[in-house]
Structure 1
Amino acid sequence: MASQVITLVGVLLGAMTSFFATSLAERAKFRQTLATRWDERKLNTYIEYISSVKEANRAARQALEAHERGEDAADLLAEMEAAEARRSVLFEGLMLLGDQAATETAAVVNDRLWALLRSARNPAGASTGVRQQLSLSIIEALCDLQVAARSDLAIGKSLRAGRRTDGVI
């Protein structure tokens, strides 16, 4: 009888150990799946936000160049405003999904972009040099955002060393 109780206790301990080990493994797998799902959404949000900033920056620069040549820039300004509206919506997603460093850096990007957009809306207000500096400051802020996003997503080494400063984005 005692040997049967010992066997039964051994089977119960084995079953409980197996159950808890499987439960822990499944819980870890679920957490990893959830983290991966959010990382994919974060990555897409970062990419779309940065793309919309680049679109608004490009349209603003082109509108300013058209104005300097004495051409009508209405279509370019409309494109700029559409990109700005898209950027505004995407920024809300970035605020929800990004970490603090990325959202703070994105706020800096916003401020710098808005300065360029104001200049494009009122081209008489700033010189060409100031406008170019505004555009370069946006590029610098975007590079900082890419570094913050890579950190948030736990992606390898920083882009900071290889960032572009030639005004091309």
Structure 2
Amino acid sequence: MDQAPALVGVVIGALGSYVTTSLNERSRWRRTRAERWDEKKFETYASYANALKTQIRVGQRLAAHRGFEFTVDPLDPEEGMALLAHAESERQAEWEAVLLVGDAETVAAARAWHEAVWNVELWARGLRDDQEGWTAALQRMGEARDRFYACARRDLGMSGPPPPSGQWPRTWRQDELSQ
């Protein structure tokens, strides 16, 4: 019986050590999991944006062939339509990952961006032909892109202001057009 207090002290110490270690390991596991998810989200958002930018670039080149302003490097429609279909397939594949890892606001912003791109493609495909509509569609697409990046940055916990706006026509083009 004389050793009972010492034995109780050892048991309490062992339990305390076990609880502390368990809590620390659980905390470390959660932190590591959160870091992995943040990295995966970053990769997913970046891959999606790159796929969409490829689609935009092909559409702009097709529009350049049709004579629309703010675009260069015209692309023949026969070659361009195949490239556009391929770019859309790539975007769709990346979209599924955005749906899996994105928060609701970022997914909505990503959807608005690709819908704005589809609208721009109406001019690229020759289904619309007015320059004012083209310029307005580019502006809406730029606004949707800005919103996506703002939402993605917020979801990733990135601090600081968002990147500069991609508004069209760009300031240097507006100056050129006013002369």
TM (norm. structure 2) is 0.84
Aligned match of 1:165: 167
- 1:57-95, CA deviations, whole angstroms, 9 ceiling, x for partnerless residues? 111111011123997322222222211111111111101
Aligned match of 1:100: 104
CA distance in 1, matches of 2:42, 2:53: 17
SS at 2:158 equivalent? coil
Could you tell me the percent identity over the aligned residues?
Answer: 28
CA distance in 1, matches of 2:148, 2:101: 14
SS at 2:66 equivalent? helix
Aligned match of 2:49: 50
CA distance in 2, matches of 1:166, 1:134: 9
- 1:101-137, CA deviations, whole angstroms, 9 ceiling, x for partnerless residues? 100111111211111123322x152312212221221
* Residues 136 and 167, structure 1, Cα contact 8 Å, conserved in 2: yes
SS at 1:95 equivalent? helix
CA distance in 1, matches of 2:57, 2:130: 17
Runs of 4+ in structure 1 off by over 6 angstroms are none
- Please report the RMSD computed on the Cα atoms of aligned residues, expressed in angstroms: 2.0
Q: Which residue of 141, 144, 148 maps to 2:144? A: 141
TM (norm. structure 1) is 0.89
Q: Which has the higher helix share?
A: 1
Give the length in aligned residue pairs.
165
CA distance in 2, matches of 1:24, 1:110: 44
